Amino acid sequence: MAKKANPIGYEFNKGVWGENPVLAALLGLCPVLAVTNTAENGLAMGLATSFVLISSSFMVSILRKVIPKQVRIAGYIVIIATFVTMADRFLAAYFFEISKSLGPYIPLIVVNCLILGRQEAFASKNSIFRSLVDAIGMAVGFTWVLVILGGIREIFGSGSLFNIALFGDWFEPWMVMILPPGAFFTLGLMIAAYKLTNMKGA
Amino acid sequence: MKKSLNIVLVLTLITAFSGAFLAYWDRHTGPFIAENKRIELEKAIASVLPTHDAYTTRLIDRRTYYIATNKGEPVGTCFRVLGPGFQGNIAIMVGVKPDLTEITGIKTLEQIETPGLGTKIITDPANKEDPRWFPKQFVGLVIDKAITVLKNKKAVGPHQITAITGATITSKAVAKIISKGVSKYRQEWEEHVLGKED
């Protein structure tokens, strides 16, 4: 590597904040928008994606010198799909209700560009340790955004958080928040708040 | 030549490993998944035919019918019907009396209707006294004719239900799916089961 390697703390923090996969890179928006109607769904999706991302980065980093360049994408996809299938079967076996409410979005993690992106941009070029740190940072960054987004939508759209009712009978749920437009509104405001915070810091 | 051989070898090894691993994983999780599905099915049967204590399955023309009994006496038959709703397919478990006269209950198994409006076909949180007022309307409906849906009017007849305010399309879809499924069931049942006994 000609370029000087970044400190390891940077590789972790960039996923959590600086290059957050959702707020900065706008990657993997399909699950971000589609499943975050409750905080619980957001958390489950975040954890499933984290598992796939961390395991795939680990495997791809181990095999980075073995996989020929010409077929690397095919190789990555097979590795990712294996871990996605594992996660899907695991949820269906032990968390049946969550698996039902996430529906096809668990198998669709295969095509989440966040995961393939990290393999191509990082795990295939870096050591196992650095790839793991990078993947964990990105996974944390992805998960916290999904939980906050799901939490905001659940509070306004259903009047509850993690299925615990927050308000009395007077509260009229904002239907729009659990519908697709609510996801766009909330994510837009979150990105605006993120940009604003970064501008102040600069 | 050597290079292409390497490509083939590496990809084959990766896929073989992942295939073998998934086969192992499937043996672990498979029984749990099958058990979850069985519990879900039994819950659905129990909710449309609450008096049953056992059931047998019967396959007619690639459709599965669950024949429920209580101490050996038939209490009804239930089956899954599927049809288009407002946003996607709705799958419903429908129970009918053994003499093919009345619906004993319905339960929605799968749906992707509008949250808060169309989802009232399962429960209506706004109706505090009776959140399940919509599915309950189907209990006791006579199945010789198609079900009609009334808007903003109280249903009285034996073939009528009241639509959900704000989800008329979903309400009509549910009625249509059930009417169609039940009439097909009657026809098949009379042909294959009752016909044989004559």
With CB atoms and an 8 Å threshold, state whether B115 touches A173: no
pLDDT score recorded for residue B198: 44
Q: What is the mean pLDDT of chain A?
A: 88
DSSP A130-195: HHHHHHHHHHHHHHHHHHHHHHHHHHHHHSEETTEE-S-TT----HHHHSHHHHHHHHHHHHHHHH
Residue B26 CA to its chain's centroid (Å): 26
CB B98 within 8 A of CB B91: no
Question: In a 10 Å sphere around its CB, with 0-12 CB exposed, 13-18 middle and 19+ buried, how is residue B83 labelled?
Answer: middle
pLDDT score recorded for residue A97: 85
Chain B interface residues (partner A, CB cutoff 8 A): 3, 6-7, 10-11, 14-15, 18, 21-22, 25-26, 28-30, 32-33, 36, 40, 114-117
- For B5, phi then psi, to 5°, come to -65, -40
Q: How far is CA B60 from CA B45, B66, B72, B156, B190, in A?
A: 18, 11, 21, 34, 12
- pLDDT of A4 strictly over 50: yes
Nearest to A71 among B7, B22, B114 (CB): B7
Task: Enumerate the β-bridge partners of residue B78.
Answer: B66, B95
Which residues of chain B have a CB within 8 Å of the CB of A173? 116
Q: Which of B1, B9, B10 to mutate to test the interface with A (most CBs of A within 10 A)?
A: B10
Q: Which of A55, A86, A167, A177 to mutate to test the interface with B (most CBs of B within 10 A)?
A: A86
Which of A39-48, A97-106, B165-174 shows the lowest mean pLDDT across its residues?
A97-106
Q: Report the C-alpha gap between B114 and B120 in whole angstroms.
A: 9
pLDDT score recorded for residue B195: 63
Helix/strand number for chain A, H first, E second: 9, 2
Q: What are the tens digits of pLDDT across the range A50-60?
A: 999 999 999 99
- pLDDT of A178 strictly over 90: no
Question: In a 10 Å sphere around its CB, with 0-12 CB exposed, 13-18 middle and 19+ buried, how is residue A170 labelled?
Answer: exposed
Angle at B136 between CA B132 and CA B141, to 5 degrees: 165
- Total-model pTM: 0.81
Q: Which of B20, B89, B79 is nearest to B49 (CA)?
A: B79
Residue holding tokens 């294959």? B192
Tokens of B52: 């049953």
Which residues of chain A have a CB within 8 Å of the CB of B25? 85-86, 89
User: Count of CB atoms within 10 A of residue B70's CB?
Assistant: 14
pLDDT band at A79 (very low <50, low <70, confident <90, very high): very high
Q: How far is A196 from chain B (nearest CA, A)?
A: 33
Which residues of chain A have a CB within 8 Å of the CB of B18? 78-79, 81-82
Q: What is the pLDDT along chain B (198 residues), one digit of tens a residue?
A: 688 898 999 999 999 999 999 999 999 999 999 999 889 888 888 888 887 777 888 877 777 888 888 887 888 888 889 999 888 899 999 998 888 788 888 998 888 887 778 888 888 877 778 888 888 888 888 877 888 888 877 777 788 888 888 888 999 999 999 998 888 888 887 777 766 544
Residues with Cβ < 8 Å from A118, sequence gap 6 or more?
A53, A56, A57, A134, A135, A138
Average pLDDT over residues A4-33: 86
With CB atoms and an 8 Å threshold, state whether B7 touches A89: no
Residue holding tokens 């799958």? B91
